[in-house]
Amino acid sequence: MNKAIYPGSFDPVTFGHLDIIKRSANLFDELIVGVLNNTTKSPLFSVEERVNMLKEATADISNIKVASFCGLLVDFVEETKASVVVRGLRAITDFEYELQLAQTNHILCPSADTMFLTAGLEYSYLSSTIVREVARFGGDISKFVPDKIAKEMYAKYNIVK
């Protein structure tokens, strides 16, 4: 069985993330969407909320599991017995950082490879940071995230839509 991990903060999950998730799920027997509990960031949503949002957004994809992790990605890779880490690239500016991570992870865990998928053109500009910023000021985020997530974001910012 070939198993991959698609890690990220997913704060919130965007249509760009979901595009990478769906395309990755078609390439592997099992895809684990790993929600990072990053203690250096102050997320809008808790880890539990992000996991639940992803479970709901991917409920129609049978070979996906959603789980949270903290610490090193390579430890999560070894724990889940995954052989591939999937990373999405939006622009060339992402590549240098992602390449450094991939090479470091390969040194730490030689049994796992990293696979890069480029974002679909319609999502190449999109980031969770941009979505949070637009939502914080009450802007329309319906083209960036599923409706339920948009409602949850507006609620976090006490914005009535």
pLDDT tens across the length of the chain (161 residues): 799 999 999 999 999 999 999 999 999 999 999 999 988 888 999 999 999 999 999 999 999 999 999 999 999 999 999 999 999 999 888 899 999 999 999 999 999 999 999 999 999 999 999 999 999 999 999 999 999 999 999 999 999 87
**Residue 17 annotated as binding?**
yes
pLDDT at residue 161, rounded to an integer: 79
Q: Tell me, what's the pLDDT at 13?
A: 97
Q: Which pLDDT does position 40 carry in this prediction? A: 83
pLDDT at res. 92: 87
The model carries a pTM of: 0.95
31 is in an annotated binding site: no
Q: What is the DSSP letter of 58?
A: T
Contacts of 25 (CB under 8 A, 6+ apart): 31, 61, 63, 64
Q: Exactly one of 90, 106, 136, 156 is catalytic; which is it?
A: 90
- Is 111 among the catalytic positions? no
Q: What topology is assigned to 3-125 in CATH?
A: Rossmann fold (3.40.50)
126 is in an annotated binding site: yes
Distance CA 57, CA 64 (A): 11
Using alpha carbons only, what angle is made at residue 69 by residues 64 and 72, rounded to the nearest 5 degrees? 120
| Residue 78 in tokens | 């070894």
Task: Let me know: does 138 contact 29? Beta carbons within 8 Å.
Answer: no
Catalytic site residue 106?
A: no
Residue 97 assigned ligand-binding role: no
Catalytic status, residue 132: no
The yes-or-no answer on residue 23 being catalytic is no
